[in-house]
Amino acid sequence: MSTIAAYSGRIVHDIQFKGPPERERNHLLQFVAQKVGQPLNREAIRASIEKLYALGIFYDIQVEAEKTADNQVSLTFVMVLNYFIGTVDVVGTPSRPNSNQVISGTKLQLGEIYTPEKLQRAEKSILQLMSDNGYYRASVTAEEHPRADTSQIDITFRLVPGPIAHVGSVTVKGEAGYSQGQIQDIAKMHPGDRLTSDRISSSLQRIRKAYVKQNRLLVQVLISDKTYRSETNVVDFTYTIQPGPKVQILVDGFKIRKSTVQKRVPVYEENALDDDLLNEGRRNLLDYMQSKGYFDAKVGIKKESDESANELRAIYVIDPGQRFKLARIIFDKYANPLRHPTNTGNTRCHR
């Protein structure tokens, strides 16, 4: 077989298709601009390939040319059919991540067009998922099982997890206010501990919770460095901690129990502090005041920063206004409920 350019201008003797079933030949010929009996034209070949690609059923199309005995040219469209992803299975998974988690991590969707590139990305995603769960020495191979009758391809991933890694050194940066050993105890991250993704994420939550108990709602905790040491199969961790100021939520202008403030201001529930949460707390406190009869109450917010004490105060300033009280309920004994079904009496409120 030779390139098309070498035979440009020669008469096309015949056109064949390699790849699709023979029964599709006449159908596919309708999309070939190059015709039998006409000189070979590169533009016609290019247009033919574009039309065949537009059918959406071919992954690759190549055109090969061969000289015939009568000095003409025989064309062959070599076509690789598209396959669509069928079932995706995995064998050899540990308890975590389990097979469903690994399959989900491949990002392969039933019915989408299969490509080797997608398969490579799926393998990389599996290895990343495994390393996130402590299996840094994991390996994976893929088996492809095409089904020509349905144009589907079933894929089986064979996974060898290898030994799980363990926690190496655990160091702390920043003004943590705790010793390195105390942070390890709080985070439950000690050298030699079995490494899992849950252990890592829980360690951050535990550290954050310890500072929130000190009212440090602006604390920032992150793993700033994570280094895998292959020779010992351990991972060294560095936590960077910025405790931030102590936060006080105060009320001025009206006495409200602390437990009520904690219930009404969502910064306590979310363990965070931002303007959205403070404004939601303002609305909740306003509802609380109105439920107590202070229908004209006003609630504002101001912030104060005390750098010397490393404190931040969010103060709800409440102007309760007059309190409304229920004075009396009057029932009109002469009212006819049949004629006035909605007028059963009068209720009056006084300041």
As a whole number of Å, the CA-based R_g of the chain is 37
Strands 234-242, 166-173: parallel, antiparallel or unpaired by DSSP?
Answer: parallel
Mean pLDDT of the chain: 90
pLDDT category of residue 328 using cuts at 50, 70 and 90: confident
Structure tokens at 139: 């390996």
In sequence order, what are the beta bridge partners of 302? Answer: 315
Residues 6+ apart with CB under 8 A from 147: 86, 153, 154
The whole-number pLDDT of residue 335 equals 57
138 and 223 both lie in a single domain? no
Q: How far apart are CA 168 and CA 152, in angstroms?
A: 46
As to burial, measured by CB atoms within 10 angstroms (0-12 exposed, 13-18 middle, 19+ buried), residue 65 is buried
Distances (CA, A) of 260 to 213, 249, 251, 285, 325: 18, 12, 11, 9, 22
190 and 250 both lie in a single domain? no
Lowest mean pLDDT among 123-132, 202-211, 280-289, 321-330: 321-330
191 and 152 both lie in a single domain? no
pLDDT digits (tens, 9 = 90+) for 46-69: 999 999 999 988 989 999 999 999
Give the end of a domain, one of 81, 103, 127.
Answer: 81
Q: Is the pLDDT of residue 259 over 70?
A: yes
256 and 291 both lie in a single domain? yes
120 and 182 both lie in a single domain? no
Q: Is the pLDDT of residue 331 over 80?
A: no
175 and 155 both lie in a single domain? no
Q: How far apart are CA 216 and CA 247, in angstroms?
A: 6
Angle between helices 99-106 and 116-132 (to 10 degrees): 130
Structure tokens at 223: 């793993």
Looking at this protein, which amino acid is placed at residue 276?
D
pLDDT digits (tens, 9 = 90+) for 218-258: 999 999 999 999 999 999 999 999 999 999 999 999 999 99
- Segment 58-84 shows an average pLDDT of 92
Q: Is the pLDDT of residue 342 over 80?
A: no
Q: How far apart are CA 111 and CA 44, in angstroms?
A: 33
Give the end of a domain, one of 225, 242, 259.
Answer: 242
Structure tokens at 266: 């969502």
256 and 351 both lie in a single domain? yes
User: What is the DSSP track for 256-283?
Assistant: --HHHHHHHSTHHHHT---HHHHHHHHH
Q: How many CA atoms lie within 13 A of 185 on its CB side?
A: 5
271 and 348 both lie in a single domain? yes
What percentage of the chain has pLDDT greater than the value 90? 76
C-alpha dihedral sign at 154, 158, 164, 168: negative
Q: Is the pLDDT of residue 347 over 60?
A: no
Structure tokens at 288: 């609380």
The whole-number pLDDT of residue 337 equals 55
Q: How far apart are CA 173 and CA 242, in angstroms?
A: 9
Give the end of a domain, one of 120, 145, 160.
Answer: 160
188 and 262 both lie in a single domain? no
Tally of domains within the chain: 4
Domain extent for 70: 4-81
271 and 173 both lie in a single domain? no
CA dihedral 178, 179, 181, 187 (to 10 degrees): 30
User: Tell me, what CATH number does 155's domain have?
Assistant: 3.10.20.310
Q: How far apart are CA 275 and CA 286, in angstroms?
A: 16
Cis amide linkage into residue 320, ω under 30° from 0: no
Q: Is 261 left (phi over 0), alpha (psi -120 to 50) or beta?
A: alpha
In sequence order, what are the beta bridge partners of 170? Answer: 237
**Secondary structure E strands in the chain:** 12-18, 58-67, 73-81, 84-91, 139-147, 152-160, 166-173, 220-229, 234-242, 246-252, 298-306, 311-319, 325-330, 346-350
Q: Is the pLDDT of residue 345 over 60?
A: no
338 and 264 both lie in a single domain? yes
pLDDT category of residue 270 using cuts at 50, 70 and 90: confident
pLDDT digits (tens, 9 = 90+) for 209-223: 999 999 998 999 999
203 and 223 both lie in a single domain? yes
